[in-house]
A = this chain, B = another copy of it.
Amino acid sequence: MTFELHPNLQKKDFICDLDFCRVLFEDNRNYPWIFLVPRQENVKNMLDLPTPARLQLMREIERAETAMNRLFKPDQTNVAMIGNMTPQLHVHIICRFKNDAAWPKTVWSEKPIPYEPDEKQKLIKQIKQEILKDD
């Protein structure tokens, strides 16, 4: 099995690997935002995963979402699989706040604002620690 990230996902910062998924960071200071990417070959969308793999994905979404919630205490979390532009299954987990840049709309039409490099590295470390806490 050869797992390779789509070029659009290769650009994202690495946070950590879980048993089933790679966790990536979205460099957009408007929202705390991560991705879960199943470390499997040729998975375009959820239907390409057999049921047990889907259930494992659901467990890791729960784990990552719980960690993000503990860390950022958002008003709402958006969890989405879109994949129109990047044909490799990746789950968006996005913390939303009632005073954020797009609220109550979805985030995909807003222009991203990158973090300062130091701030980004600090955040990635915090998210990693929170997700791996229960290991």
Contact = CB atoms under 8 A, between A and B. Distances in A.
Nearest to A84: B104
B77 A105 contact: no
Contacts of A65: 46-47
A78 B86 CA distance: 12
Interface residues of A, number: 33
Which of A66, A83, A103 counts the most chain B CB atoms within 10 A?
A83
Contacts of A96: 84
A2 interface: no
A76 interface: yes
Interface in A40-63: 44-47, 51, 54-55, 57-59, 61-62
